[in-house]
Structure 1
Amino acid sequence: MPGELSYILFLLLRMAVAAAFVVSASIITERSGPVIGALVATLPISAGPSYVFLAIDHDAAFIAQGALSSLPVNAATIFLGLTYVVLAQRHSFAVSVGCAVAVWIGLASIIRLFYWTLAAGLAVNLVAFGICIPLLARYRHVKMPLVTRRWYDIPFRALLVATLVAIVVSTSGWVGPRVSGVIALYPIVFTSMMVILHPRIGGPPTAAVLANSAWGLLGFGMAIAVLHVGAANFGSAMGLSLGLATCIVWNLTLWWNGRRKPLAVVS
């Protein structure tokens, strides 16, 4: 098999694997309500496959450096969420989604201009979440209407995440780890939820899912920091494993604490 054809087939396989993963997680998100859906949405559904495929093509130093660039981008994502949540209460789909994506692109463009250390990335996340979590709290509790899936939902989500993986994998060799880390953190799951759910169930219920995602997204930022430290000291496989474990343990803790509160009220 010619080398170019082999590369194309391998790229298509990676795109298909990532698409299947994000579609499955998105379906769970829709069926489980805003709280559980938010916890699923903040797992590394799109960034995870991107980093796995980057690790196949590059060494641990590349992954560690990419994670450093991804860490402050996580702060941009929480501002995307805040922008959408606030605007979606009163404004149209186009205004809410368009402004939210524009905020992310603007912040990510600024972030990529700087060389980030672990301490600086963590500090930016702490400031960003310290601002956004209290502002999002009032929008968390909205009844989730029944969602009727349409024929194009799954192909649309699959296309989004497959395109992201293709861009990250195919450009990583010449854009380097810093830009790859920024691209890998584009919030595919949040974008697809906004695009699909807002026209169907309205802005406030869709915004509730994103508002409930704030604490989970904070844990995702910690997982990126763990990925950096793990990849730099123990290799890509260990870094990716530790980062995933951090996300899962953090979100399970949030879920458990959420279950304990109603029980405490009843008792």
Structure 2
Amino acid sequence: MSFDLHFILFLLLRMAIAAAFVVTASIITERSGPVIGALIATLPVSAGPSYVFLAIDHDAAFIAQGALASLPVNAATIFMCLTYVVLSQRHNLVVSCGSAIAVWIVLASIIRQFDWSLTAGLAANLIAFGLCIPLLAGYRHAKMPLVTRRWYDIPMRAALVAILVAIVVSTSGWVGPRISGIIALYPVVFSSIMLILHPRIGGPPTAAVLANSAWGLLGFGMAVAVLHLGAANFGSAIGLSLGLATCIVWNLTLWWNGRRKRMAATTS
């Protein structure tokens, strides 16, 4: 088997594995409602496979450096969510989603110009989430109409993530860890939520899903920081495992806290 054919087959396998993650997460999200769906959407459904495959091809130093670039990009994602949530209350999909993605691209382009330390990346997240979470709070509750899945919904999400993985894996060798870390954190799941739900149920209910994701996205930023520290000190495998564990524990804590509040409100 030639080297090129081996590379293509291995790349297709990686894309298929990433797509399988998305399909599974999508099915769970659709059956769980907007709050649980938002928590699942902030798990590393797209970034996780990208980083796993990067770890196969590169050493721990590459992963640790990539995570440093990914950390401030997480702050750009919450501004993307805020942009969509506000605009979608009155505007159509093209305006609200297009503007949100444009905001992310502009912020990611600015982030790319700097060498980020862990402290600076954490500070960027704290400032961004400190500003955005209160602004998103008023949009978290909206009446959710019944959503009927269309045949192309899950394949489209799976294809978006598979394409992202293909781009990250095939370009990482020459763009380096910084650009790889930025591309790996492109918010594929949030983009697909906008594209799929907005035309079907409208802007405000779709915005409610993204608004509910703010706290989960904050935990995802913490997981990226843990990934950096873990990869830098203990290797890629431990770093990736610790990052995933951070996401899961954080989101389970959010779920338990929300459930406790609902039970307290019911009994009072």
Q: Which amino acid aligns with 1:230?
A: G
Alignment of 1:163 onto 2:175: no
Q: Alpha-carbon deviations, 1:65-100, whole Å to 9, x = none?
A: 000000000000000000000001110111000000
Aligned pairs for 1:84-123 within 5 A? 84-123=84-123
Give the deviation of 1:62 after TM superposition. Answer: 0.1
8 Å contact from structure 1 (residues 39, 216) kept in 2: yes
Instruction: Give the Cα separation in 1 of the matches to 2:192 and 2:24.
Output: 13
Give the deviation of 1:24 after TM superposition. Answer: 1.5
Instruction: Give the Cα separation in 1 of the matches to 2:226 and 2:59.
Output: 17
Residue 216 (structure 1) aligns with:
216
Give the deviation of 1:150 after TM superposition. Answer: 1.1
Q: Alpha-carbon deviations, 1:95-133, whole Å to 9, x = none?
A: 000000000000000001100000000000000000000
Instruction: Give the Cα separation in 1 of the matches to 2:28 and 2:206.
Output: 15
Q: Percent identity?
A: 83
Residue 32 (structure 1) aligns with:
32
Alignment of 1:12 onto 2:12: yes
8 Å contact from structure 1 (residues 18, 162) kept in 2: yes
Query: Which secondary structure state, in structure 2, belongs to the residue aligned with residue 208 of structure 1?
Result: helix
Give the deviation of 1:33 after TM superposition. Answer: 1.2
Give the deviation of 1:230 after TM superposition. Answer: 0.2
Query: Which secondary structure state, in structure 2, belongs to the residue aligned with residue 81 of structure 1?
Result: helix
Residue 184 (structure 2) aligns with:
184
Aligned pairs for 1:1-267 within 5 A? 1-265=1-265, 266-267=267-268
Gaps (5+ residues) in structure 1?
none
Give the deviation of 1:30 after TM superposition. Answer: 2.1
Instruction: Give the Cα separation in 1 of the matches to 2:23 and 2:208.
Output: 20
8 Å contact from structure 1 (residues 80, 100) kept in 2: yes
8 Å contact from structure 1 (residues 26, 189) kept in 2: no
Q: How many residues are treated as equivalent by the alignment?
A: 267
Gaps (5+ residues) in structure 2?
none
Give the deviation of 1:145 after TM superposition. Answer: 1.3
Instruction: Give the Cα separation in 1 of the matches to 2:110 and 2:27.
Output: 33
Instruction: Give the Cα separation in 2 of the matches to 1:109 and 1:262.
Output: 41
Alignment TM-score, normalising by the size of structure 2: 0.99
Q: What RMSD, in angstroms, separates the aligned Cα atoms of the two structures?
A: 0.7
Alignment TM-score, normalising by the size of structure 1: 0.99
4+ residue runs over 4 A deviation: none
Give the deviation of 1:31 after TM superposition. Answer: 2.2
